[in-house]
Amino acid sequence: MRPFVISEYVRWGDIDLAGIIRYSAYLRFFELAETEIFRAAGLPYGEVFERFDIWLPRKLMHTEFFSPAVLDEQLNVATYFSLIGRTSLIINFDVMSAESGKQHATAHQVLVCVARKTMSKQALPVELVAALEPFCALDKGSARNE
């Protein structure tokens, strides 16, 4: 498994008065990477929600910061799943400088599958699981837990 990678620049709206990326701006990078990994799996996000009648809200968001990115720096965001469970999945993000490879941040988020109408937890759709498994860092047997 190779991680899925997007590239994006640190924009004016991403920085603070010190000229470095705001912590909250990383969420924009994570959102872009997540949207694109689903697209690469053949399931654009809007289609996922309509086709399967689900939402994937976050239960947990964890980020560690190592070094600040700066305005106009191009970042690579490597994205992969470390767990695809019965009702949830863990998506991971490694953010690094596209030029030097210096690591700026890592993150993981737990997404839980819920029915759109009731917001009650439900099993991940089999078709969704199959589409995402090529982007999972663990083999199928060890990744298919709760």
Per residue in 77-112, pLDDT (tens digit) is 999 999 999 999 999 999 999 999 999 999 999 999
Between CA 76 and CA 93 the distance in angstroms is 10
Q: What is the pLDDT of residues 38-70, one digit of tens each?
A: 999 999 988 999 999 999 999 999 999 999 999
Between CA 102 and CA 68 the distance in angstroms is 10
Average pLDDT of the chain, as a whole number: 93
Q: What is the pTM of this model?
A: 0.91
Confidence of residue 144 (pLDDT cuts 50, 70, 90): very low
Q: What is the pLDDT of residues 109-126, one digit of tens each?
A: 999 999 999 999 999 999
Minimal CA–CA distance to 89: which of 116, 65, 60, 117? 60
Minimal CA–CA distance to 28: which of 83, 81, 69? 69
What is the Cα Rg of the chain in Å?
Answer: 16
User: Could you tell me which CATH number the domain at 4-138 has?
Assistant: 3.10.129.10
Within 10 Å of residue 71's Cβ, how many Cβ atoms? Answer: 13
Minimal CA–CA distance to 8: which of 72, 54, 70, 62? 72
